[in-house]
């Protein structure tokens, strides 16, 4: 990516497919964003860009990219393999992480509808899944467990308060 392309991208501001992070110290947020992008339409994360779209740059050591890659792989299931590149803009270093959309072909029509619901609401319960899809609690349980097993969602909470969110 050349300087002009990077500036044009930054000029668009953050949106559903573009996120700015000022530093690698926000690694947990970076991992969450990678997971969210993977579960939706893909996207890019620019590390070294402030929330106000200012190029602040970051310092990169000899093993920074390797550590970042290992952290992503260690915290995603199934594994997410984003494209990671390092760009120089006005003598400042920016890491670009490009995340592809997970293919939803592994999901049935009910599960795809649930993914849309989670995109809108941030979470889904078994009861909500039942109501949306007009299915039994058992079917909802099996479908949601399958989505968690495939790495699209993760279960959080206990008992009747269990909900499913993006990984």
- According to CATH, the topology of domain 104-166 is Arc Repressor Mutant, subunit A (1.10.10)
Delimit the CATH 1.10.10.10 region(s) of the chain: 104-166
Strands lying side by side in the sheet with 43-47: 18-21, 43-47, 92-99, 83-89
H-run or E-run covering 163: strand 163-166
- Domain made up of 3-99: CATH architecture: 2-Layer Sandwich (3.30)
pLDDT score, position 66: 93
The three-state secondary structure class of 124 is strand
Mean pLDDT of 99-109: 79
Query: What does the pLDDT look like over 115-160, one tens digit per residue?
Result: 889 988 999 999 999 999 999 999 999 999 999 888 889 999 998 8
Query: What does the pLDDT look like over 5-36, one tens digit per residue?
Result: 888 999 999 999 999 999 999 999 999 999 88
Find the distance separating the first CA and the last CA of the chain, reported in whole Å: 29
Delimit the CATH 3.30.950.30 region(s) of the chain: 3-99
| Rounded (5°) CA angle 42-4-93 | 75
Instruction: Indicate whether 103 pLDDT > 80.
Output: no
């Amino acid at each position: 990516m050349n300087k002009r392309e990077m500036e044009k991208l930054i000029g668009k501001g953050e949106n559903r497919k573009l996120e700015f992070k000022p530093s690698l110290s926000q690694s947990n947020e970076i991992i969450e964003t990678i997971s969210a992008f993977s579960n939706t339409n893909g996207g890019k994360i620019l590390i070294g860009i402030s929330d106000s779209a200012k190029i602040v740059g970051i310092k990169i050591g000899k093993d920074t990219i390797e550590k970042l890659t290992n952290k992503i792989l260690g915290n995603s299931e199934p594994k997410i393999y984003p494209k990671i590149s390092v760009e120089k803009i006005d003598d400042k270093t920016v890491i670009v992480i490009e995340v592809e959309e997970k293919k939803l072909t592994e999901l049935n029509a009910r599960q795809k509808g649930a993914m849309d619901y989670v995109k809108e609401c941030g979470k889904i319960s078994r009861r909500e899944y039942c109501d949306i899809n007009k299915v039994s609690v058992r079917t909802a349980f099996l479908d949601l467990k399958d989505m968690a097993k495939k790495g699209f969602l993760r279960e959080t909470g206990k008992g009747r308060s269990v909900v499913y969110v993006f990984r």
